[in-house]
Amino acid sequence: MESQNTEQPASRSLPVATHPELGKPDFVWPTVLMLTITPLIALIGVPWYQLAVGFEWSHWLTFAVVAALNGISITAGYHRLWAHNAYKAKTPLKIVLALFGAAAFQNSILTWASQHRRHHRHVDVIDEDPYSAKKGLWYSHIGWMLRHYPTNTDDFSNVADLKRDKVVMWQHKHYYSVALVMNILPPLIMGMLTGDYLAHFLACGFLRLVYSHHTTFFINSLAHYWGRQPYTEDNTARDNDLLALFTYGEGYHNYHHLFQGDYRNGVRWWQFDPTKWLIKTCDWLGLAYDLRKTPDFKICEAMVNRQLEAARQRLSSDRASDRVRTFVELETQHLAKLLSEWRAARARWFEHNKTRFRDASSDLHAAVEQERAQLTQQLKDLEHSVKQQYQRVRSFNLAVA
């Protein structure tokens, strides 16, 4: 996930200013001031008002609603729609996401998506990843935004597709005006309706902005430090159910880094991912379409590979038994066989789906439909087989641990 970097150099080739004594890049002062002053106002002003006057339920309801609109516009809009093209959206939905995403004050869609794509392409590479977790928790959470680091210099060569999006470019061109209006308007309107201007500006204005910032920043920092890795160990990303509660479903980060094109992060039905629920609802309403999903077989394959890798790690130990070695070899071969069969069946299934007949009652049409049904069942059987293999390998690892 990204955040605010208010100064936007035109190109990565520009020199980076450095402090003459410390040898560090200069501070991005607008960002430093914003990320310092807004928390101070929230930390001092909100408790003071609560003690002196007292907030009412309407103040907290407005805070919660606007914070949710900001957060889910970042997750459903900036992140899954524009950074990853996980689905497509109609213009009215794009406009809403662009407006409330700007209110989160985490830069324009174009800049945010460009930096995030760079993060995924070079995850954990210190000299390439804009907010590499390998540089420490503070750096990945907030430190990367505070100085003119070379990895933060704008380079829009990886967002050519977004440059063709009129909503993206309109928001990028007018970003600061849009962001200021969208931050001032909600508390101003609520203040006019209730007469409690100060309460709404403290809760819905400053506190909401600080909350929106740091819940987003958690994905850059904590989601690369704290949690489990059920799908891959190739990067530092982790799944964390608790983080998902505060980040509108973005806490399933290990899954996301392996399957970044999926419109879901919480892939299980019971996982808390309101962003995927919103996207699916918009699909039903005709506001979103072409939702991209990772096949269940590929998800289970990743989980089996992760369990097999855990078993292989025991082979490097002198205490590894022939039983472990034989088990790993056989299960690796079995997975390769299942994958080969699945790819072949899926290719044939797609080929049959392309076949069209003018005469729906022809014998050839009936034969193709029958084979398509058989292929569909074969794919389901293969998915079931790989799920069984996952349970088998996982149980084995638990038994020999």
| Residue-wise pLDDT tens digits, 6-27 | 334 333 333 344 444 456 899 9
Has residue 112 got a pLDDT over 90? yes
Has residue 233 got a pLDDT over 90? yes
Query: Burial code of 218-253, b = ≥16 C-beta within 10 A, e = fewer?
Result: bbbbbbbbebebbbbeebbbbbbeebbebbbbbbbb
Has residue 59 got a pLDDT over 70? yes
Q: Give per-residue pLDDT as tens, 302-331.
A: 999 999 998 888 777 656 678 888 899 999
Distances (CA, A) of 74 to 101, 134, 163, 211, 309: 5, 24, 18, 13, 34
Same domain, 284 and 311: no
Contact criterion met (CB below 8 Å) for 31 and 6: yes
Q: Do the domain assignments include residue 2?
A: no
Question: What does the pLDDT average to over 370-391?
Answer: 93
Question: What does the pLDDT average to over 96-116?
Answer: 97
Alpha-helix residue ranges (DSSP H) falling in 221-321: 241-246, 253-258, 274-284, 296-313
Same domain, 62 and 95: yes
72 SS3 class: helix
Q: Could you say which of 261, 289, 317 is where a domain stops?
A: 289
321 backbone φψ class: left, alpha, beta (φ>0; ψ -120 to 50): beta
Same domain, 239 and 315: no
pLDDT-derived band at 3, boundaries 50, 70, 90: very low
Tokens 């034989």 -> residue: 326
Question: What does the pLDDT average to over 24-53?
Answer: 96
Residue 234: name the closest of 260, 209, 211 by CA.
Answer: 260
Q: What is the pLDDT of residue 367?
A: 78
Q: What is the pLDDT of residue 369?
A: 80
Same domain, 100 and 176: yes
Q: Do the domain assignments include residue 100?
A: yes
Q: Could you say which of 289, 320, 355 is where a domain stops?
A: 289
Has residue 219 got a pLDDT over 60? yes
89 SS3 class: strand
The helix (run of H) or strand (run of E) holding residue 322 is helix 322-354
Q: Do the domain assignments include residue 4?
A: no
Has residue 119 got a pLDDT over 70? yes
pLDDT-derived band at 362, boundaries 50, 70, 90: low
Same domain, 243 and 370: no
* Alpha carbon distance 219, 73 (integer Å): 15
Instruction: Enter the tokens of residue 118.
Output: 């760079």
Same domain, 282 and 300: no
Q: Do the domain assignments include residue 177?
A: yes
Please state whether beta strands 288-289 and 88-89 pair in parallel, antiparallel, or not at all (unpaired).
antiparallel
Number of domains in the chain: 2
pLDDT-derived band at 363, boundaries 50, 70, 90: low
pLDDT-derived band at 359, boundaries 50, 70, 90: low
Higher-pLDDT residue of 17 and 117 is: 117
Domain that holds residue 201: 29-289
- Portion of the chain with pLDDT greater than 90, in percent: 79
On average, the pLDDT of the chain sits at: 90
